[in-house]
Amino acid sequence: MLAFGFSILFHSNALADEGNVYQVYRGINLGVSEKAPPQDIFISLGSDNGVKKGSVLDVYRRISSFDNLTQKHMGDHMIPVGKIKIIHVDAKTAIARADRFVSIDEEPALLPQAIMIGDVVQSR
């Protein structure tokens, strides 16, 4: 019984925290620069979840699939979108920038290839 309790405790600590993208912000280019303004990605994980400035987190999109013949929900797929790099951290939230996207040659195509509100973010 003690070994079972220890394995549950050890397993639960090994799980990643999961949050969501709740806002995506890009400033307006007022013609001062040829370069597009950076895009800030606000997430619902923060230092309370172990997130630190410079951390790189995985981003997924939850896609539901339905059987068109039976009209039944078949399940959800967690499709990798890419990775984000944290640039600012508070206790419960953080702000990040896109670090890299998953190649559409390697995973199901998610178009547009962008981080969107509602995407799932996992810390390691």
pLDDT value of residue 15: 54
pLDDT score recorded for residue 32 = 75
Tell me the CATH number for domain 17-122. Answer: 2.40.10.410
Cα four-point dihedral sign 71, 74, 75, 80: negative
Whether omega before 112 lies within 30 degrees of 0, making that bond cis, reads: yes
Q: Cα separation of 111 and 109, whole Å?
A: 6
pLDDT of 108: 80
The pLDDT, as a whole number, for residue 13 is 42
From its phi and psi, is residue 90 left (phi > 0), alpha (psi between -120 and 50) or beta? beta
Is the pTM higher than 0.75?
A: yes
pLDDT at position 11: 39
3 state DSSP class of 66: strand
Per-residue pLDDT of the chain (124 residues; tens, 9 = 90+): 444 444 333 333 445 789 999 999 988 877 777 887 889 999 999 999 999 999 999 999 998 888 999 999 999 999 999 999 999 999 999 999 999 998 888 878 777 788 999 999 998 7
As to burial, measured by CB atoms within 10 angstroms (0-12 exposed, 13-18 middle, 19+ buried), residue 27 is exposed
What is the domain partition of the chain in residue ranges?
Answer: 17-122
d(CA 91, CA 80): 26
